[in-house]
Structure 1
Amino acid sequence: MYLLQRSNDAIKINSDIVNGAHADIHITTHGSDVYWAWCSLMGLCTILFFLWAQMRSEGSRLFHNVAAFTSLIAAIAYFTMASNLGWTGITVEWHRTNSHVAGNTRQIFYVRYIEWFLTTPLILSNLFFVAGMSWQSLVQVILVSWILVVTRLVGALVSTTYKWGYFVFGLVTYIYIVYELLFNVRNHATSLGNDIRKAYLFPAALESLIWLIYPIAWGVCEGGNVIAPDSEAVFYGILDIATIICIPALLLFSLRDVDLARLVPSGPRAEAPVEKAAHQNGTNGAGGLDSSEVANPV
């Protein structure tokens, strides 16, 4: 007999009935265990990011703290899903014969979209700040990212074929964000020097690639009801670990020898001349601005 017997009673305590409605297709204890594992990993990485920040000078902690808050928000969301909370039942468009996805109503975790609504702007903030972009550009891309998340949420909550219209809107906003990251923001990072370009480019490219997989996950989970909610927990969890933990850690590691204080924009007006010059010069403008001009734009 174990002194402390392991058990996960989340599914028993928080059942598959919400507001009197039953979800036929829902997570089991196995899915809850997966969410608990992701929650624990997110929580551990939050602590590590905060400790990493303390090893930097006070003016260089912003990037690490943003990464820590991002993983903290994700940990809270995964705690909620592991507890079998933060969901609603939606009638499926596609009825499957597989026993794991058979039924009329599927469990949709809306808390996942709340997490993305909060974490996606933080992820973009670190990438934009590394490239020395202005607040105006950041606010603009954050607004687009919110449209991306909201359209996916609305699509997940629609039970008819009209859900795929919202799916298309989400793809359009994704294309815009990737264009900004791989062209405009990359050009600006290049204008700050080869070290900044190298630090920015690989994490930004990886983030853009992995974000392309999210629509696939949505299509086989909330959209098409192809894979079971337990498999959904694994699929989305791996993607979130990559975008919220692995890539930000890679970005911070690549910036270990860079003076981070000079990258954070001090205000909307201060950064506008630098960004304008970078857009005009593109990749050929690296020699047009020295470090003093970047740190103190006129």
Structure 2
Amino acid sequence: MGPLGEQIAQLERRNNALRLNGNTVNGRTADIGITTRGSDWYFTVCAVMTVAGFAFMGLAVRKPRHTRIFHYITSAVVFTAAIAYFCMGSNLGFTPVEVEFFRSDPKVRGTFREMFYVRYIDWFITTPLLLLDLMLTAGMPWPTIFFVIFADWVMIVTGLIGALVTSRYKWGFFTFGNFALFYILYHLGWESRRNANRFGNDVGKAFLYCGSLTSLLWLLYPIAWGVCEGGNVIAPDSEAIFYGILDLLAKPVFGALLIWGHRNIEPSRLGLNITDYDNDVAVHEKRATNDYGVPVTGNNTGVTNGTTTATTSGTTPVAAPASDGLGGNVPTHNPTV
């Protein structure tokens, strides 16, 4: 065995996740599960997601705060995915599910397959954020954004239910999820793309590149589901590679492409009028008021017995309001009474 082989062997011996966290959950043992190689791959994807998250945050601090929205959203995506992949690499966040199709292949032979529900928790959080990145880039109205995200949640939840069902009824949930997916792809490929072009050629290109990448990759996820959780065709280690490559392209690569596309695009052009708190006077200056809650102008800060007095020459006392703010009138001082 050469030096490289010895190093790989040492890394495999160092990964004790499968020994520390077994395949028995809720009284059932998954006899179709990942090996140490699958665990190593999950940890590798976790590392890439983490590095990408810090890179996106590093790029964010170089931009004015009011222009960081896409950096923050994309960073949240990869950091969430990093936690999920750490969980799967640790052989946690799964439940054994009885397979519908029993195979003779030794790699998928058995009764209970390891199904990582933490993957769906990841998707439930990250896929709406990815869509938010795209829909905000396209300048879509908020009601449309909310409904597209709702369709996305339908797709994820039905995929999770189908993965947990042991009978052929799982394919019914799979069908519901695909209908939701096609609705999302329609918006990305037609409505949102057309709207993005209204904001200029650079915005249209940024959306076209990122939207096309997302649409292509999301079409492959149902295939991965069908040969993994659905049909028990490929081994869990191959499942890890399949989903891992898709997630790396759909999250860090997508994020890098999106941030690059937004490098010269002000969020205000897309209808995102974000105010930086450095420009908010209320944060940095406590404005003086009189007894009636009316801001005092100039250097006028003197208040005595409900009346305003000038403390510096050249200023004008501020009159009391006609109402106390609660619907009643404020009594005024009449020196003749």
TM-score, structure 2 length as denominator?
0.77
Match of 2:196 in 1: 189
Match of 1:136 in 2: 143
Find the partner of 1:63 among 70, 91, 114: 70
Larger-gyration structure (1/2): 2
In proportion to residue count, which structure has more helix?
Answer: 1
Separation of aligned partners in 2, 1:244 and 1:83: 21
Match of 2:326 in 1: none
Instruction: Using the TM superposition, give the Cα deviation of residue 265 of structure 1 relative to its aligned residue in structure 2, in angstroms.
Output: 3.5
Find the partner of 1:92 among 88, 91, 99: 99
Match of 1:31 in 2: 38
Confirm or deny: 8 A CA contact 1:133 1:265 kept in the other structure. Answer: no
Moved over 2 A (4+): 260-267
SS of 1:85 mapped into structure 2: coil
Match of 1:47 in 2: 54
Write out per-residue CA displacement over residues 63-116 of structure 1, whole angstroms, 9 at most, x where no aligned residue. 011100100000000000000000000000010001010001000000000000
Gaps of 5+ in 1: 268-298
Match of 2:206 in 1: 199
Confirm or deny: 8 A CA contact 2:42 2:89 kept in the other structure. Answer: yes
Confirm or deny: 8 A CA contact 1:42 1:245 kept in the other structure. Answer: yes
Separation of aligned partners in 2, 1:10 and 1:145: 32
Match of 1:163 in 2: 170
Instruction: Using the TM superposition, give the Cα deviation of residue 227 of structure 1 relative to its aligned residue in structure 2, in angstroms.
Output: 0.5
Separation of aligned partners in 2, 1:266 and 1:110: 38
Question: Are 1:241 and 2:245 counterparts?
Answer: no
After TM superposition, the structure 1 = structure 2 runs for residues 101-180 of structure 1, keeping only pairs within 5 Å, are: 101-180=108-187
Separation of aligned partners in 1, 2:45 and 2:183: 30
Percent of residue pairs bearing the same amino acid type: 48
TM-score, structure 1 length as denominator?
0.86
Partner amino acid, structure 1, of 2:260? F
Confirm or deny: 8 A CA contact 1:134 1:265 kept in the other structure. Answer: no
Confirm or deny: 8 A CA contact 1:59 1:261 kept in the other structure. Answer: no
Query: How many residues are aligned here?
Result: 265
Gaps of 5+ in 2: 1-5, 275-337
Q: State the Cα RMSD in Å.
A: 1.5
Separation of aligned partners in 1, 2:115 and 2:271: 38
Separation of aligned partners in 1, 2:168 and 2:273: 46
Partner amino acid, structure 2, of 1:82? G
